[in-house]
Amino acid sequence: MAPFSVRMPVPPVLRPIAQLPDADVYELAIRQIEAEILPGVRTPVLTYGNHFVAPTIRAKSARRTLITFRNHLQAASNVHLHGGHVPAASDGHPMDLIHPGGARLYSYPNRQQGATLWYHDHSHHTEAEHVFRGLHGAYLLEDDSERHLGLPDGEYDIPILLRDAAFDESGALVFAEPEYRTTLLANGKPSPYFPVAARKYRLRLLNVSTHRDFTLSLGGVEMTQIATDGGLLPAPVPRTTLLISPGERIEIVVDFSRHPLGTQLLLADTTGPVLRFDVVRRARDNSRVPDRLRELPALPEATATREVVLGFGFVGDVPMGLINGRPFDPNRIDAKIKLGTTEIWRITNGDVQYQVPHNFHTHLVQFRVLDRDGNPPLPGETGRKDTVHIRPGESVRVQATFGDYTGRFMYHCHLLEHSQMGMMAQMEITR
């Protein structure tokens, strides 16, 4: 199909079925349907709420979200709120499954600053294929303390979920090797266009692919990064290229008023076009990007350090994903951490020989990137993060405080083919 022949949709916002004094209540079905990804072709997909891409949940900071997921698939599933600071029972541990015909209530306190989060399947050994086939959606946590900043909002605040895909001759998705996934999707459509007004937009970019990095540019046009995984940066950062590994989020503001009506701006990856913005109309714009966004508190003193090495190896004759030389075992605790303590972890990508990329994601906590091989963090990494890209042979030091909740939580490579091969470990937060 020709690129830019379909319009990029904006995922619908999920409406609560009830509102309590301190909580919004939702329900979502997990179901297989047929969706039109390629024009005129019906493709079997897995969905939350019968939508590909899943509905966006707009939550309020300090107001709980209660959401029941009902599994209508023939396979077990579950849900992880990626970037959420939530109790262990609602974290979507890979072994906490929703079996076919079952349901599970997840409680999200939302006691964290505003940020672009996302929800996705995390069922052990099937998370990569389930996410690839459609089980992913945006969860936008809105923070009233941002309102005075004047950032673009409403219809000018757009989540854009990026991923790759492969199809067979019938139009069915093929869960093939990542190098064969050559079709790039933005909000579930291949290389779409999106009409914009000549004004500023807040674009929330989410990499929901299971394996692919995106290196994005607007043909040299400046993009102003305002936020990363855990919310607003201390100050805006001008960027002309963006690297987003699986699971990461980057928020940018693009001022389309700098371009005449009729301009077409191409958001492209190094391998091809992703999305075209068409400047088609004028609009009033009272939004702004202030010089200061959100102050970061001083880091507390760390009381422990840990070494974490990601890599591939063999267990007997079986190739496995490993953390510190061991594959995931749900019956083993790899790190015991006292509630409320602060730790520094050095995460190393040990796959130098084969030049395999990895990234690192922690459940429960946001962390701060301290350095990369002793050098300062990359541009846009100075805020709170939960997922970080690590090149072969590189070491990244991060610092986190493990507060509020006890229980079992995961840390793993978020290239999901790697995690489901065993590149996961388990921490237990204790009193």
Determine the Cα angle at 154 with ends 50 and 51, to 5°: 5
Q: Domains, the chain, ranges and CATH?
A: 18-145 (2.60.40.420), 149-282 (2.60.40.420), 304-430 (2.60.40.420)
Nearby residues of 79 by Cβ (< 8 Å), 6 or more positions away: 69, 92, 98, 104, 106, 119, 120, 121, 122
3-state SS class at 6: coil
Reading the chain (431 residues) residue by residue, the pLDDT tens digits are 789 999 999 999 999 999 999 999 999 999 999 999 999 999 999 999 999 999 999 999 999 999 999 999 999 999 999 999 999 999 999 999 999 999 999 999 999 999 999 999 999 999 999 999 999 999 999 999 898 999 999 999 999 999 999 999 999 999 988 889 999 999 999 999 999 999 999 999 999 999 999 999 999 999 999 999 999 999 999 999 999 999 999 999 999 999 999 999 999 999 999 999 999 999 999 999 999 999 999 999 999 999 999 999 999 999 999 999 999 999 999 999 999 999 999 999 999 988 999 999 999 999 999 999 999 999 899 999 999 999 999 999 999 999 999 999 999 999 999 999 999 999 999 99
Q: How crowded is residue 345: how many other Cβ atoms within 10 Å of its Cβ?
A: 21
Q: Give residue 1's pLDDT.
A: 75
Determine phi and psi for 88, rounding to 5 degrees. -60, -35
Q: Give residue 92's pLDDT.
A: 98
Phi-psi category of 382—alpha, beta or left, where left has phi over 0 and alpha has psi -120 to 50?
alpha
Q: How crowded is residue 333: how many other Cβ atoms within 10 Å of its Cβ?
A: 14
Cα 33 from chain centroid (whole Å): 23
Q: Whole-angstrom Cα distance, residue 338 to residue 376? A: 29
Q: Which residues of 283-374 form beta strands (DSSP E)?
A: 304-315, 318-323, 335-338, 342-349, 358-362, 367-372
Is the pTM of the predicted complex or chain greater than 0.75?
A: yes
Closest CA to 35 of 197, 141, 229, 172: 172
